[in-house]
Amino acid sequence: MDKPAVIVLTGPTAVGKTETALGIAQELNCEIISADSMQVYRGMNIGTAKASPEEQALVRHHLLDVVDPDQRFTVADWVRLAEQAIAEIASRGKVPLITGGTGLYINALIDGFLFPDHSADENLRKQLYEKAKADPEGLYRQLQQVDPATASRLHPNDHRRIVRALEVYCISGRPISELQAKTPAKQNYKAVMIGLYRTRPLLYQRIEERVDQMIASGLVTEVKTLLEQYPHQPTALQAIGYKEIALYLQNRLTLDEAAALIKRETRRYAKRQLSWFRRDHRIKWYDLDHTTTAEIIADTKERLGNL
């Protein structure tokens, strides 16, 4: 049986995905599936720019608030839940709209897994994270030695993905990039793929404004509450925005310094997101500085009809 058609809406952080997704969903009878690796965590709302209760009331959302920050959650878990959500949405006669900036999640869902989901080795993972704290540069150099292709795609401070890549290598004896290349991709869904972008100065301006708004909306209180609940600081709390505010709460940074660091790391993250998505030639890109949501909706409706 043919799997249902889906819409995929992606782009860098702060570009305007949430507003555009709500417009498309309301006009084209969609329900939204979040493809954001941090929005799955409960209690992490402000720092992940999670859809507000008011926005969620306008359109039904899926895969938000799935697990606690100290629970293990893999790409395999997300794909399984996303597939369930797609089936449920289609059974109601609606269109699944997958929205977010986590490229690995989107590719794994649409094309099938890019690499085997090896079981975690908790002791190994603990050792790698201890090295990440003690010698982050050494950990990155270790990845460069065993898997230079993956290292070239990762920021040296992206400890979570560096640890994951080294974990896969240690368990399988093969670089994750090799597993990706040798695992045949299969087209799991017929997808209308939409990419949003803005000129770099305007995107960076939106990033700075968003960070300022997050702090004004209570990001410090959110992080403080999470640290009280999870004093061991699980991996999820190493996300951009959370680790910097944690340093502020530990009196290791001023609030202005933490905000500046969040802005810098978010700009770098946006560049990495664009590099990832630009490789996918199925994505049709729209410049939000010169394109209206109505135009995107009309184009998407036509493309859906042509699938």
What is the per-residue pLDDT across 204-237, written as a single tens digit (0 to 9) for each? 999 999 999 999 999 999 999 999 999 998 989 9
Q: Are 282 and 221 part of one and the same domain?
A: yes
Q: What is the mean pLDDT of residues 270-274?
A: 92
Q: What is the CATH number of the domain that holds 152?
A: 1.10.20.140
Q: Are 38 and 55 part of one and the same domain?
A: yes
Q: What is the mean pLDDT of residues 28-46?
A: 97
Q: What is the pLDDT of residue 210?
A: 98
Question: Within a domain: residue 14?
Answer: yes
Question: Within a domain: residue 1?
Answer: no
Q: What is the pLDDT of residue 146?
A: 84
Output the CA–CA distances (angstroms, integers) from residue 244 to 32, 216, 231, in the order listed: 30, 15, 15
183/172 Cα distance (integer angstroms): 14
User: Is a pLDDT exceeding 60 seen at residue 303?
Assistant: yes
Neighbours of 20 (CB within 10 A): 22
160/103 Cα distance (integer angstroms): 15
Quote the number of domains for the chain.
Answer: 2
- Residue 172: which pLDDT band, with cuts at 50, 70 and 90? low
Signed CA dihedral, 32, 100, 76, 281: sign only: positive
Q: Are 103 and 203 part of one and the same domain?
A: yes
Question: Of 178, 181, 179, 147, which Cα lies nearest the Cα of 163?
Answer: 147
Using DSSP, state whether 4 is helix, strand or coil. Answer: coil
Q: Are 108 and 229 part of one and the same domain?
A: yes
Q: Are 201 and 98 part of one and the same domain?
A: yes
Q: What is the CATH number of the domain that holds 301?
A: 3.40.50.300
Domain encompassing residue 164: 122-182
Q: Are 190 and 165 part of one and the same domain?
A: no
User: Is a pLDDT exceeding 70 seen at residue 162?
Assistant: yes
Q: Are 98 and 143 part of one and the same domain?
A: no
Rounded to an integer, what is the distance from CA 63 to the centroid of its chain?
Answer: 12
Q: What is the mean pLDDT of residues 18-44?
A: 97
